[in-house]
Amino acid sequence: MSGVRTGVIAGAVASAVVFGAAWVVATAQEPRAGIVTALAGQAEIYHASLPRLRSARAS
């Protein structure tokens, strides 16, 4: 029984570690590079991190 219980605990810990690592990778963001100081008209920004953030939120 003791061995089974140890195995269950080890499995749970391993699952938590894997889930945590996946979450960190999924939500990691790029370093800040600068700021928009002037704008005339319209422009679009494609955030490199955004798809990962959305994917992490959706899961």
Partner 1 sequence: MPRSPDSAPLALRDDVYVRDRIQTHEESVVRLLLGGKAAVTVRELSVLTISEDPNQSHVELHSGRVALRINKALMRPGDVVEIYTPNAIIGVRGSLVVVEVEGSVDAPQSHVTAVEASLPILVAPRADPARTTALNPNEAVTVAGPRHAAKAGPVRRVAPDQARRAVEMAALPPHARKISEPEVIHRERAEAAPHVARPMGGRRPRTRQ
Binding site for partner 1 (CB under 8 A): 29-51, 53-54
Q: How far is the CB of 39 from partner 1 (least distance, A)?
A: 5
How distant is the alpha carbon of residue 13 from its chain centre?
Answer: 19
Q: How far is the CB of 59 from partner 1 (least distance, A)?
A: 15
> Contact at 8 Å (CB) between 53 and 27?
yes
Q: What phi-psi label fits residue 46: left (phi over 0), alpha (psi between -120 and 50 degrees) or beta?
A: beta
Q: How far is the CB of 19 from partner 1 (least distance, A)?
A: 19
Cβ closest to partner 1, residue 6 vs residue 27: 27
